[in-house]
Amino acid sequence: MPFIKTDFPDLVIFEPRIFEDDRGYFYESFNANTFVEAGITRPFVQDNQALSSYGVLRGLHYQVGDFAQAKLVRVIQGEVLDVVVDIRPDSPMYGKSFGVVLSEENKKQMYVPRGFAHGYVVLSETAIFFYKCDNFYSKESEGGLLFNDPKLGIDWKIDVEKAILSEKDVIQPLLGEHREFF
């Protein structure tokens, strides 16, 4: 199976098999049967793509209630540090973060189950970030955590004082003051 388990229940890294030769490469970035065999059965219903430059930090975001989302995230061009925080109240990993570098070179993907706040920072000159969602976006169901919450202790691998953030991301609440996932 091309899935690597993490210490977080249901959070996995997907490493596709890559076929390279003098023409370039080929790989299967998604196959529903492969994911179902790994226990990931909800269908994806929305694809999103974002282009960002070095230092752009997006997150930490999530959706609540009926609009909660699982995501399959990857980088098409460039490199990012992808970070999640477990906000499932009954999880043994509640409030803990996990990060992995996703890049066009390593072609890794991360399956982010429902109940995680998600964000990323661009480490290359530019990056194209792509993700599948198993539920539709709802503005009324948005939640977030402050990216530099000291309780989370996330090392974003850049000088966060120079991070490029949206107005929304600089005013997100701290862990414990955030909108509950359920």
User: What is the C-alpha separation between 107 and 5, in angstroms, rounded?
Assistant: 17
The pLDDT assigned to 137 comes to 95
- Please check whether residue 108 lies inside any domain of the structure: yes
| Helix (H) or strand (E) run with residue 167 in it | helix 167-170
61 is catalytic: yes
The three-state secondary structure class of 129 is: strand
- Please check whether residue 36 lies inside any domain of the structure: no
Asked if residues 63 and 137 have their Cβ atoms less than 8 Å apart, the reply is yes
CATH code at 91? 2.60.120.10
Q: Which of 61, 94, 118, 178 is catalytic?
A: 61
The pLDDT assigned to 121 comes to 98
- Total domains, the chain: 1
- DSSP 8-state symbol, 161: G
The pLDDT assigned to 1 comes to 56
First-to-last CA distance in the chain?
31
pTM higher than 0.85, yes or no?
Answer: yes
Q: Can you give the residue range of the structural domain that contains 68? A: 44-170
Q: What is the DSSP string of 37-95?
A: HTT--SPP-EEEEEEEETTBEEEEEEE-GGG---EEEEEEESEEEEEEEE--TT-TTTT
Q: Which of 62, 111, 120, 131 is catalytic?
A: 131
- Please check whether residue 65 lies inside any domain of the structure: yes
pLDDT digits (tens, 9 = 90+) for 84-101: 999 999 999 999 999 999
Residues of the chain with pLDDT under 50: none
Asked if residues 48 and 135 have their Cβ atoms less than 8 Å apart, the reply is no
| Helix (H) or strand (E) run with residue 4 in it | strand 3-5
In order of 96, 102, 118, 162, 165, the CA distances from 169 in angstroms are 19, 21, 12, 14, 6
The three-state secondary structure class of 101 is: strand
- Please check whether residue 38 lies inside any domain of the structure: no
pLDDT digits (tens, 9 = 90+) for 159-175: 999 999 999 999 999 99
- Please check whether residue 148 lies inside any domain of the structure: yes
131 is catalytic: yes
- Please check whether residue 178 lies inside any domain of the structure: no
- Please check whether residue 24 lies inside any domain of the structure: no
- Please check whether residue 35 lies inside any domain of the structure: no
